Amino acid sequence: MPDAPTPQLRFGADYRERVRLADGREALLRLVIPADKLLLKRGMDAFSAESRFHRFLGTKPALSDDELRYLTEVDGVDHFAIGATLAGPAGAEEGIGVARFVRFYDDPEVAEPTVAVLDAYQRLGLGSLLFARLADAARERGVRRFSGRMLTHNDAMRRLLRRLAPDILWTAHGYVSEFDWEL
């Protein structure tokens, strides 16, 4: 019996999508690749202390070489990441945001999502675009639910999630809230 054809993934290795931000600038969405280590390092350096605190649920001054490797050398199935870039003043690519999910080892239909957008590019619709594309890519890969944790007072992320998933389930545990979103 012949092998079944491999389904074409919208969010495969050749994924590229141009999107317009609310301020009129055009960003490129694409998969994160190992060569993006410097972009992620620069992005981390550009985050405000508050954004770092929200993203890492605590203080985080920098990313280690091991963390940069983990964040950029993804398999595209169990650990998937989409980056957003702009052309910088000299034409070089500048990283402005990233969204990723990591599948739960003990339940492959569940993954933890994260989205990070540099402060200068927040409130331009990029976080919503990244999260929506991340959910689509997760569905393509058989993920049926996003489950994660965030700081309870991270109002911007709570608003974003409520817009994308009005039926999202929240459980607050003091400073940290957990969420579950059936995709």
CATH number, domain containing residue 125: 3.40.630.30
Tokens standing for 46? Answer: 């550009």
The neighbour count for residue 8, using CB atoms within 10 Å, is 7
Query: Has residue 45 been placed in a domain?
Result: yes
In a domain, 167, yes or no: no
Q: Which of 14-23, 97-106, 141-150, 161-170 has the lowest mean pLDDT?
A: 161-170
Domain count for the chain: 1
Q: Is residue 33 scored above 80 in pLDDT?
A: yes
- Structural domain of 134: 16-147
The 3-state DSSP class for residue 152 equals: coil
Residue 21 lies in a domain: yes
Q: Considering only CA atoms, which of 127, 125, 145, 126 is closest in space to residue 135?
A: 145
| φ, ψ of residue 136 in degrees (nearest 5) | -65, -45
Residue pair 130/84 in contact (Cβ under 8 Å)? The answer is yes
Residue 3 maps to a domain = no
* pTM score of the predicted model: 0.89
Give the tens place of pLDDT for each residue, 61-77.
888 999 999 999 999 99
Q: Lowest mean pLDDT: which of 16-30, 48-62, 112-126?
A: 48-62
Q: Is the pLDDT of residue 53 over 80?
A: no
- Residue 3 binned pLDDT confidence (cut-offs 50, 70, 90): low
Report the pLDDT value the prediction gives residue 48, as an integer from 0 to 100. 84
Q: Does the pLDDT of residue 7 top 90, yes or no?
A: no
Position 6 confidence tier, pLDDT thresholds 50, 70, 90: low
Q: Over the chain, what is the mean pLDDT? A: 90
